[in-house]
Structure 1
Amino acid sequence: MPAAPGRWQRRRSLWVVLALVFVLVACGVPGVLLVGLVGDAAGRPAAGRADDPATAAGRRLGQRMTAQLDRQASALLGGDRAGFLAVAEPAARPALARRYAALRALRVTVWRPAAEGLPAAVAGRPGEWRLAVTVGYCFVVPGCTPGSVEIGTRWRLAGTEPRLVAVEESRAKPAGARPWEVSDLAVAVGKRTVVATTPAQRAKLPALLAQAEAAAAVADRYALAGTPPDRYLVFYAGRTEWQRWYGGGRPKWTAGYAVGVGGGHHDVVLNAQSLAPAGIDDLLRHELTHAASLPDRGYSDRSSWWLVEGLAEYAGADGQPVGRYEGLAEVRRLVHGGWNGRLDALAPADDAADDRVGGAYGVGYLAVRHLVDRYGEQRVLDFFRAVVHERRPVDVAAADVFGEPWSALHDDCVGYVRAVAG
C-alpha cells in the first residue's frame, strides 16, 4: 500500500543527525541567559603561575561578567523577568524577553553555564568583548543530568559594569539553534513528555500531548541507558521553524528526527508540513524510541543504520502483524529492484527517492522483527547495546548474544525479508 505522506522522511533525518557523530548540542539567537563561570576561567590563574597584566585584566572583566550572569540566572529560575532583563542593554531585551518566556514555559529547573576562556575583543566592534559559554540545563525535572548548549555572548562596558549586548546564534553541529533560543513557544507538559510548538499552532497541543504520552509508554520499553529519559521533549515545527530549528537543512522528504543534546537527552522534532494526522502516532513511537535507545553520543557507523532504524520501526509498529506494516509496497519495490541483499549497505543516500527510503526502513524493520520473533525482545536489545552502545563488531556481538555466526543470521534475516516481499 502507498506510504502515508512524509512517512519515510522522519527516519532518514535521524540518521543524518546521528551519522554526523551525534554530539548533540546546539544553540541560538541574540539574548541568552548565563550563570556563574567556573574554575580557573572564572578569574584565577593556574597554580604557581602569575598572570601578565593583560590576562589579569581579562580575568577581572570575566569576573564582572560572571556576576551579571549569576544575577540573570537567579532571576530566570526565580521567575523574575525584570531582573532577567536588567543585565542587558535595551536593544538586547526583546530577544531576551522571548528567551525568558520560552524557557519559563518549558519549566526550566537548572541553568549552569561555564566560561570557555577569557573575554576577547570583538573585531570590528570597538568597545565590545565576546565571552564563550557552555550552559547545562534541565527542564521540568530538577535532578536531571543536564543537556548542554554552546553560546557566544557579547558585552559592552557601561562605566565599570559589563552590559549584555547580544547572544550569538550557535552553529555547533549537528544540533544547531534550539527552538527555545529562536522562537516564541506554546508548551504542554505531561507525565512523560513535554510538547512545544509556536503560538499559531497552540490549538494542536492537547492532541499532540496525548499522542506523545501514549508513544512514551512504548518507547520506555527500549531504554538502554538504565532508565528511560526523565522527559521526552517534542517540538512541532511549522514551515519557518522547520528550516531554522536545530540548524534546518534536512532532506526534503524529512518528516521528523531525533537529535542528541547532551546529558543523555535527545530532542524530537516533527515537521507539521509533511505529516498526515494518521501518521503521527507511529512517527512519535519511532522517534521517541530513538530518544530512549540511542547512546548519548549517538552512532556514526553507517553499517548499523538498519539496526538503529529497524528497532525504531519495530517500536513504531507497536506489535501489529507484519502483513499490516504500511511500508511493504516499498519493500517489495526495493527487493525486486536491484537491492544487493546487504543489511550493512541499506542506508539511503541523502537524495534517495521516497520509495528507496521507505523500502530501506521497511527492510530494517523486517530484519529486526525476524530477530525478535526468533530470540525475543530482550536479546535483540542486548544485541543493539553491544553493536550501537558498546561498538562491538557485529559478528562478535552476534556470537556473544545469539550464539550464532553473524553471516548465517544475516542471510537468515535477508531470506525472511525476501519471503515477506514475495
Structure 2
Amino acid sequence: MEDDLDHRSGRDWVARAFGAFGVMLLAVSSVSVVFWPQPQRPKPATAAPVVAPDPSTVIERDVRFALQGQVDALLSGDEAGWLAPVDPAARKRYRAIYRNLRNLEISRAEYGVEILGGSTTSAVDARFMLSYCLSDAACPAWDDSVGRGPPKVLYELTLTRRDGGYVVTGIADIKDENPLQPTPWENTELRFARGERVIVAGPPGQAKNLQRVLTAAEKAAKIVDRFSTEPPARYRVYLADDKTWKQWYGGQLSKWVIGYHIALNQTGSDIVLKAGDVLDSDRQLAITVQHEMAHAVTMVPSRNWDQDEDLWLIEGVAEYIGFFPGKPQNTESRYSLRSWFDEHGPIKSIVRPELTDESDDLTVSTLYATGHYAVGCLADRYGRARMLVFVKQVIQEGQDLDPASRTAFGKPFKTVDKACVSWITQRV
C-alpha cells in the first residue's frame, strides 16, 4: 500500500491517500450509536496486552503536527511559529516565503504530505504540497492536482527528529511538475509597494522602481475595473529584473514579450513585467500594465482549453482596454496594419491565424493590431456591453465564434466578420 498524503487547513483536515498525488479519498466520519446493556456474567479481570505503536504511524503523526503548526502560524501572522520547526540552515528561505505571503495577503492555506520510502524515525523524506489563496479571491476546495483547485507549490522536505519532534533540515524544489513554479515569492524576500487596488513587488534591486510602477498601476486599475462586473480584489504586479524574468513561472523567452499575465488556476492571477523594457518610458509602462490587467478581468476564470486559437481576440480586447480611452486608429495598431496592408494587401477576416515560434515581428504585431481594431469595431457597432458578452462567451466559456456572436449580437459571426473587415479598412 502506498504512503499517505494528507492535507489540512486550520483545525479541519481530510486524510487523503496519494500515489504520486493520486485521488483516493478516505472519508472519516464519527457516528454515535447507543446499545442497551445486556445482563452478563462477570468475567475474571485480565491484563490487556501492551502493543507498541507502529513506527510509521508515529512518523506520520509527528510530521503532520509540525507542518500543521506551520500552516496555522502562517495564517495567523506568527513568524516565530512558522520558523519554529525549521533548522537555522533553512530559515532564510522559509522566512522569505512567510514574509512574502503575508505581504501578498495570504487568506487561506492547506497542505498535503506524503512520507517517502526509506524514511526512518530519525530521518524523514517527505513530499510536501502547499496550496494558497491571496487577498479575497474565492478559494476552491482542495484538489490533488496542481492544475485544479487552489494554486500550489511542491517541495521535497528532509526532516530530522529532535527533542521528540521533527525539524525541517532541507527543502528542495520539485522541477517540471508544476507550471506555477517557481513563483516570484518562494526564493527571495521581495520588496513591496501597496496601493488601494494594486500590490507591486520585485527583487531588492528593483525597490527604487516600485513606486513608479504602483502609480501607473493604480491609474490603470481604475480604468480596467470598468470592464468587469467582478474585478479582482487586488491586482498583483511583479517587476522582474533580467535574472528573475528568466526564472519566474518558468521564464519568458519570446523576444516580443515584455509583460505577461498568468492565471493561478481559477483563483485570480499574477502580472509580471520586464523592468528593462517597460521602464523605458511612462507611456510604455502605462500601456503594458493596463494591457496585462485587462487579461485579469477577461480571462479568469476560464473554461477555454484552446486559447491559442482565440489569441486574436484575447490580445485584441487587452489592447482595446490597454489603450483605452484611445481609439485603435489613434494608436500604434494603425501603423502595424498599414505595414501589413502594404506588404500583403487588406485583411480578409478579423480572425488571425495562430502564432508559432517562426512568426515574424509583422505577423505578431498584425495579430495584436487586427484584434485591437476588431474589438473596437464590435464596441462601436454593437455597444461595449455586447462586445464584452461576446468576449466572455469565447475567451472564458470557450464557445465557438458563431454561437457566441448570435448570443451577443443576434447575428451570425460571418455577418459580423464582414462588417468589421469593412470598418477596419475604412480606418487604416
TM-score by length of 2: 0.79
> What letter corresponds to residue 174 of structure 1 in structure 2?
P
Listed as ranges, the matches of 1:150-299 within 5 Å are 150-159=153-162, 160-170=164-174, 171-223=176-228, 226-275=229-278, 276-277=280-281, 278-297=283-302, 299=304
Query: Is residue 121–residue 127 contact of structure 1 (8 Å, CA) maintained in 2?
Result: no
Q: What SS class does the counterpart of residue 94 from structure 1 fall into?
A: helix
Structure 1 residues 176 and 344: CA distance shift in structure 2, 3 A? farther
State the 1:343 CA deviation: 3.8
CA deviations 1:99-123 (Å, max 9, x no partner) are: 2232233343x2422316x311379
Structure 1: distance between partners of 2:27 and 2:105:
37
Does 67-76 or 295-304 show the bigger shift? 295-304
> What letter corresponds to residue 161 of structure 1 in structure 2?
G
Residue 38 in structure 1 maps to residue 13 in structure 2: yes
Structure 2: distance between partners of 1:46 and 1:357:
51
Query: Is residue 42–residue 115 contact of structure 1 (8 Å, CA) maintained in 2?
Result: no
In the other structure, the counterpart of 1:129 is 125
Q: What SS class does the counterpart of residue 150 from structure 1 fall into?
A: strand
Structure 2: distance between partners of 1:305 and 1:95:
38
Choose from 396, 402, 407 the match for 2:409: 402
Percent of aligned pairs sharing the same letter: 26
In the other structure, the counterpart of 2:383 is 376
Choose from 406, 417, 422 the match for 2:424: 417
Q: What SS class does the counterpart of residue 215 from structure 1 fall into?
A: helix
CA deviations 1:358-382 (Å, max 9, x no partner) are: 2210110001100110001000111
Query: Is residue 135–residue 148 contact of structure 1 (8 Å, CA) maintained in 2?
Result: yes
Q: What SS class does the counterpart of residue 280 from structure 1 fall into?
A: helix
Q: What SS class does the counterpart of residue 402 from structure 2 fall into?
A: helix
Query: Is residue 37–residue 114 contact of structure 1 (8 Å, CA) maintained in 2?
Result: no
Query: Is residue 42–residue 62 contact of structure 1 (8 Å, CA) maintained in 2?
Result: no
Choose from 314, 317, 328 the match for 2:323: 317
State the 1:209 CA deviation: 1.0
Unaligned runs of 5+ residues in structure 2 are 1-8, 19-24, 30-52, 141-149
Q: What SS class does the counterpart of residue 348 from structure 2 fall into?
A: coil
State the 1:247 CA deviation: 1.1
Does 149-158 or 342-351 show the bigger shift? 342-351
TM-score by length of 1: 0.80
> What letter corresponds to residue 345 of structure 1 in structure 2?
R
Residue 145 in structure 1 maps to residue 143 in structure 2: no
Does 147-156 or 245-254 show the bigger shift? 147-156
Quick check: which has more Rg, 1 or 2? 2
Query: Is residue 302–residue 344 contact of structure 1 (8 Å, CA) maintained in 2?
Result: no
Query: Is residue 303–residue 397 contact of structure 2 (8 Å, CA) maintained in 1?
Result: no
The structure with the largest helix share of the pair is 1
> What letter corresponds to residue 301 of structure 1 in structure 2?
Q
Choose from 73, 94, 97 the match for 2:95: 97
Query: Is residue 36–residue 67 contact of structure 1 (8 Å, CA) maintained in 2?
Result: no
State the 1:409 CA deviation: 1.2
Listed as ranges, the matches of 1:52-131 within 5 Å are 58=56, 60-108=58-106, 110-115=107-112, 118-121=114-117, 127-131=123-127
Query: Is residue 132–residue 152 contact of structure 1 (8 Å, CA) maintained in 2?
Result: yes
State the 1:297 CA deviation: 4.0
Length, aligned pairs only? 375
> What letter corresponds to residue 15 of structure 2 in structure 1?
D
Structure 1: distance between partners of 2:59 and 2:400:
51
In the other structure, the counterpart of 2:48 is none
Q: What SS class does the counterpart of residue 133 from structure 2 fall into?
A: strand
In the other structure, the counterpart of 1:366 is 373
Q: Which structure carries more relative contact order (alpha carbon 8 Å, separation 6+)?
A: 1
Structure 2: distance between partners of 1:330 and 1:379:
27
